[in-house]
A and B are shown apart, each in its own frame.
Chain A
Amino acid sequence: MGMSDLVGYRGYEPVIGLEVHCELDTLTKMFCGCPNSFGDAPNTNTCPVCLALPGSLPVVNEKAVELAARIGLALHCEVRSSIFHRKNYFYPDMPKDYQISQYDEPINVNGWLELPASGVRIEIERAHMEEDTGKTTHVGGGGRIHDSSFSLVDYNRAGVPLVEIVSRPDIHSSEQARQYVSELRMLLVSIGASKARMEEGSLRVDANVSVRPEGSGALGTRCEIKNLNSLRSLVRAIEYEIERQVDLVSTGQVVVQQTRHWDEAGGRTIALRSKEEAHDYRYFPEPDLVRLDFDSDRVARIAGALPPTPEQRRARIMSLFDTSTGADLVATIVEMGLDVLVISAIEHGVVPDRALSRTANEAAARVEDALNLDPGTYARLLMMEQDGKLTPTQTKAVLQAMMDSGGEPESIASTMGFEAMEPDAMVSVVTGIVDAHPDEWQRYRDGESKLAQFFVGQVMKATRGKANGKEVIAALDKLKADAL
């Protein structure tokens, strides 16, 4: 076995394109005023339009268009005038038996997303608007579709606005795919376009996977994998599919172009059952809707109000530091959404390192609670520490209390009895300790500097943690200098 067989995929390069569907975070559906709401009782969010009752007509949700344009702008796409098409196919979860989608004139084209770790740019072919389908529950046969005796359909989700983001086949590993979806998910949340919760289905991924001999420029036959409901499934399914395809082509067999379903329990992809004619979608322009025009003014207006992307948020924090060390930490902080705390603290005068470390340690340990902190209040707490009004230990205690039940750092500190020591009082405590330990003091004076920790510990004990360690050391050093 040659070297090239031991690394990567036995001499083959995977070529992966991803189609990410995200539900837009609107109050109402794409074409009617029914609530866009997850988890309600079945068929309670329906009306003549989203049930496709005869005679009903769609009207476009203005907010959905705005959010779609935001996605396009955040992905560096060209945002353009667009029209809707009908995609015709019969399926029980689709009330009209056609889906209103965008075909050859989508709202967003030609953008890119940069992967934060590697800086690799994945090109975006298009990001178009469409409507979601209903949900089908299969009854009997263990819930498996083909074994079930009947199915039940809930149309609450039918007509929920979606944007489908289609990447070019620029992805070459399952890890890159994971990074792409992860970054995209963060971006969608960051700009307020989608809740992007994979576990609730508001972010869904289909992967187009093919393999080709390393160094080849040609594209192999691809398979589309559906039902990737988590990042873990995405990685596993792509890995499985790459191995399956490499097994085929490396033994002289061919990959058949088909749509496959990820079987999470079985850990494998399975070819879908659908008939050939199902793929003749007979697209034609939706006659019940009119053109959506976008001129440069409107694009500029939306761009002007676009919340920052994760990329911009990371760059913002990094710009506040002198060096680029800590990039991984910054990426984590942004991913957690805690960057606002860091930035607020720094803007209030907290030293960047302190702002980052408090946030990365104490706040990040309790992300959900930390996200509820008011950034300005958080900054005041860190300033109290920086000004010596609170010791690190006290600061941590106050922060825990703020994350437990909110409140102002000043009053919490006061309630906890964390009155900062007056410098004179602290110096007199230090002097007392030095006097009580003459041997140690002599050794310290002779250069045994590690004994500083001994004195700090003694002072802390005497002050029940109120003293500031750095200040204690400063006082020791002053005593030492004075004694010379």
Chain B
Amino acid sequence: MRASAGDVSAQVRQGRVSATSITERYLEAIESFDGKLHAFLTVMAGYAVEQATRIDKLVEMGKDPGPLAGVPVAIKDNLCTRGILTTCASRILENWRPPYSATVVKKLERAGAVIVGKTNMDEFAMGSSTENSAFGVTRNPYDADRVPGGSSGGSAAAVASGLSVVALGSDTGGSIRQPAALCGVVGMKPTYGMVSRYGLVAFASSLDQIGPFGTTVEDVALIFSVIAGHDPRDSTSLKVRRDVDTGSLVLAPAGVAASGQEGTADAPDGPMLDEDAYIWPAGHSLLDGAIEGLRIGVLEEITSDAAPDVRRRVEEAAAALVSLGATVEEVSIPELHYALGAYYLIAPAEASSNLARYDGIRYGLRVDAEDVTSMMSRTRSGGFGSEVKRRIMLGTYALSAGYYDAYYGQAQRVRAVLVDAFAAVYRDYDVLIGATTPATAFGVGEKTGDPLAMYLSDVCTIPSNLAGHPAISVPFGAGDDGLPVGVQVLAPALGEPVMFRVAAAIESAARSLPPPPVCFADGMGVQSDMGDGHA
């Protein structure tokens, strides 16, 4: 069975297994298996071994290397890593090595994690299949002819195939949850502002959030607790603390330091030893608490149009929650019909501006020309793939003179309507559940010619991004084709605790899916007793 972050970290901290040996096993596994998947764009072998050695030294000296001691982590290639290629799967950044690391990368390292590589993605996170990578498609570990989903397809595939214990992705319209569902792993998008975006290469600033992938809800919650917290370098980052009595998350009053790691931007690198700094000091207490008495809505707009096999899994999950004592009812938010349209105006508009800086002057690709305007145009045409260009065009149009109010302005007002509609529903329900994707993984090449069809595959995940709410996808058995199905849990802003609790309950009720055919299941060096899927 695939190793869990909690187990790896416990073993490393107790000195029963060295971080170095674990790291080396994973690096070897990546080398052996990733040729079939292409989950990684860059494998950080030397760097990972260095990190692991550092952690082993801390253990030797009797120091605590942190809650992720020795845990192999894969990170999406749109997260900046100092001195290490960060390409966003784009030709325009093919050779770019950032001079700084993203806040989440620093937080992972301080918690003792070992970053093993940068994962493949749709170029600049624009896509739902990882087919828009400039460097080749990633394959679904369950079926190499299918896509892993996207845009964080590399991270999802890496975790599903056991090539990394956990991973980070980014989710602008479902880019963590959708590939998690299609690859049979857990993937979560936090409340907007819970995780610093500093060092995440922007796609759509008002929608982007970094979040974790793992094989279990517990691992995902653990990673979340490490990466969450206020960052003075991100003006949209929230100051949140955990109420000791209720366990819920609350916004800290203005001017009061949050309980997350504060002001770490300039702190010297080093392991975070003070676990109290994490949002869940005791580690996993967030999964505690009863399901009994919770009011749960099955959200029609993200469920009823899903394929019958996917819909059945959602119904089974709902039934399981009823059996645990929750009240489950169908609920509808008709305004969600406008979510996809609003998303495909807002996200490209912001992207068109965020991607303007790739002009061939300060970094990245340059295609030479006689004058600077031609140089910029040729660089951008040559460096961006067709989906990125399409969205830049769409967004430029939506913002251009005479169209702003009808398109971008109206889309932002629709967004406000959605926020109000969600708020009304959350007066009666603690969480909502539904499908993560309309269907199981589609075939490689199946939707590449039809952008609108591709965009429609995000229909279940987009609402949470527009509202800024947290959501998680939990694997729940397989569809009729034997491919993984995900069930989504949506919660209101700062509703991560109850969301994780319900997700864990769904997870324990799920029919477990066999590990994928392409899988490294021996990360701890202990022979699996569940079969390793190699057969």
What sequence of 0s and 1s flags, for each residue 320-343 of chain A, a beta carbon within 8 Å of any chain B beta carbon?
A: 000000000000000000000000
State whether the Cβ of A482 lies closer than 8 Å to any Cβ in chain B. no
Contact A55 B202 (CB under 8 A): yes
22 A-B pairs in the complex with CB atoms less than 8 angstroms apart = A48-B99, A51-B362, A54-B80, A54-B86, A54-B357, A54-B363, A55-B197, A55-B199, A57-B235, A59-B232, A88-B356, A88-B399, A90-B376, A96-B357, A98-B356, A153-B361, A155-B362, A282-B396, A283-B399, A287-B205, A287-B236, A288-B205
In the assembled complex, the CB of B530 is this many whole angstroms from the nearest CB of chain A, namely: 39
In the assembled complex, the CB of A103 is this many whole angstroms from the nearest CB of chain B, namely: 11
8 Å CB contacts to A: which residues of B232-279?
232-236
State whether the Cβ of B96 lies closer than 8 Å to any Cβ in chain A. yes
State whether the Cβ of B401 lies closer than 8 Å to any Cβ in chain A. yes
- Give the docked Cα–Cα distance between A408 and B200 (Å): 61
Q: Which of B100, B396, B401 contacts A48 (CB 8 A)?
A: B100
State whether the Cβ of B422 lies closer than 8 Å to any Cβ in chain A. no
8 Å CB contacts to A: which residues of B343-392?
349-350, 352-353, 356-357, 359, 361-363, 372-373, 376
Q: Which of B96, B236, B361, B396 contacts A288 (CB 8 A)?
A: B236
List residues of chain A with CB within 8 A of the CB of B235: 57-60, 288-290
State whether the Cβ of A86 lies closer than 8 Å to any Cβ in chain B. yes
List residues of chain B with CB within 8 A of the CB of A289: 235-236
Q: If the complex has contacts A59-B233, A90-B373, are A95 and B205 also in contact, measured as CB distance less than 8 A?
A: no
Q: Which of B86, B198, B236 contacts A290 (CB 8 A)?
A: B236
Contact B201 A55 (CB under 8 A): yes
What sequence of 0s and 1s flags, for each residue 38-52 of chain A, a beta carbon within 8 Å of any chain B beta carbon?
A: 000000000010011
List residues of chain B with CB within 8 A of the CB of A287: 204-206, 236, 350
In the assembled complex, the CB of B461 is this many whole angstroms from the nearest CB of chain A, namely: 20
Contact A92 B353 (CB under 8 A): no
Residue of A nearest to B408 (CB): A284
State whether the Cβ of B228 lies closer than 8 Å to any Cβ in chain A. no
State whether the Cβ of B455 lies closer than 8 Å to any Cβ in chain A. no
Contact B400 A282 (CB under 8 A): yes
In the assembled complex, the CB of B251 is this many whole angstroms from the nearest CB of chain A, namely: 13
The 10 A-B residue pairs whose C-beta atoms are closest, nearest first, are A97-B356, A282-B399, A287-B205, A287-B206, A54-B201, A55-B199, A52-B357, A55-B80, A280-B401, A55-B201
Residue of A nearest to B90 (CB): A54
Residue of B nearest to A58 (CB): B235
8 Å CB contacts to B: which residues of A242-297?
280, 282-284, 287-290
Q: How many residues of A contact B (CB 8 A)?
A: 30
Contact A54 B359 (CB under 8 A): no
Q: If the complex has contacts A55-B201, A290-B235, A290-B236, are A95 and B400 also in contact, measured as CB distance less than 8 A?
A: no
8 Å CB contacts to B: which residues of A342-381?
none
Q: Is the interface of A mostly helix, strand, loop or mixed?
A: loop
Besides A97-B356, A288-B235, A290-B235, 10 more A-B contacts (Cβ < 8 Å) are: A53-B363, A54-B96, A54-B202, A54-B357, A59-B232, A59-B235, A90-B373, A282-B399, A287-B236, A288-B202
- Give the docked Cα–Cα distance between A289 and B400 (Å): 22
State whether the Cβ of A151 lies closer than 8 Å to any Cβ in chain B. yes
Q: If the complex has contacts A60-B235, A92-B372, are A86 and B353 also in contact, measured as CB distance less than 8 A?
A: yes
Contact A57 B197 (CB under 8 A): yes
List residues of chain B with CB within 8 A of the CB of A155: 362
- Give the docked Cα–Cα distance between A249 and B198 (Å): 55
8 Å CB contacts to B: which residues of A56-72?
56-60
Q: If the complex has contacts A59-B235, A280-B401, A290-B236, are A98 and B353 also in contact, measured as CB distance less than 8 A?
A: yes
In the assembled complex, the CB of A282 is this many whole angstroms from the nearest CB of chain B, namely: 4
List residues of chain B with CB within 8 A of the CB of A151: 372
Q: If the complex has contacts A57-B234, A284-B404, are A90 and B202 also in contact, measured as CB distance less than 8 A?
A: no
List residues of chain B with CB within 8 A of the CB of A96: 356-357
Residue of A nearest to B349 (CB): A284
Residue of A nearest to B357 (CB): A52
8 Å CB contacts to B: which residues of A8-47?
none
- Among B235, B401, B404, find the residue whose CB has the most chain A CB atoms closer than 10 A: B235
Q: How many residues of B contact A (CB 8 A)?
A: 44
- Give the docked Cα–Cα distance between A289 and B193 (Å): 12
Q: If the complex has contacts A53-B98, A55-B202, A88-B399, are A97 and B357 also in contact, measured as CB distance less than 8 A?
A: yes
Q: Which residues of A contact B (CB under 8 A)?
A: 48, 51-60, 86, 88, 90, 92, 95-98, 151, 153, 155, 280, 282-284, 287-290
List residues of chain A with CB within 8 A of the CB of B400: 280, 282
- Give the docked Cα–Cα distance between A409 and B241 (Å): 63
- Give the docked Cα–Cα distance between A66 and B200 (Å): 30
Contact A97 B236 (CB under 8 A): no
8 Å CB contacts to A: which residues of B65-98?
78-80, 86, 88, 93, 96, 98
- Give the docked Cα–Cα distance between A58 and B354 (Å): 13
Contact B353 A55 (CB under 8 A): no
In the assembled complex, the CB of A449 is this many whole angstroms from the nearest CB of chain B, namely: 76
In the assembled complex, the CB of B268 is this many whole angstroms from the nearest CB of chain A, namely: 17
List residues of chain A with CB within 8 A of the CB of B352: 88, 282
List residues of chain A with CB within 8 A of the CB of B197: 55, 57
State whether the Cβ of B102 lies closer than 8 Å to any Cβ in chain A. yes
List residues of chain B with CB within 8 A of the CB of A95: 357, 362
- Among B93, B356, B376, find the residue whose CB has the most chain A CB atoms closer than 10 A: B356
List residues of chain A with CB within 8 A of the CB of B236: 287-290
- Give the docked Cα–Cα distance between A122 and B408 (Å): 37
In the assembled complex, the CB of A83 is this many whole angstroms from the nearest CB of chain B, namely: 12
List residues of chain A with CB within 8 A of the CB of B102: 55
- Give the docked Cα–Cα distance between A58 and B78 (Å): 18
In the assembled complex, the CB of A461 is this many whole angstroms from the nearest CB of chain B, namely: 73
List residues of chain A with CB within 8 A of the CB of B206: 287
- Give the docked Cα–Cα distance between A154 and B132 (Å): 35
- Give the docked Cα–Cα distance between A53 and B88 (Å): 13
- Among A53, A96, A155, find the residue whose CB has the most chain B CB atoms closer than 10 A: A53
List residues of chain B with CB within 8 A of the CB of A57: 197-198, 233-235
Residue of A nearest to B196 (CB): A57
Q: If the complex has contacts A59-B233, A282-B396, are A54 and B98 also in contact, measured as CB distance less than 8 A?
A: yes
In the assembled complex, the CB of A51 is this many whole angstroms from the nearest CB of chain B, namely: 6
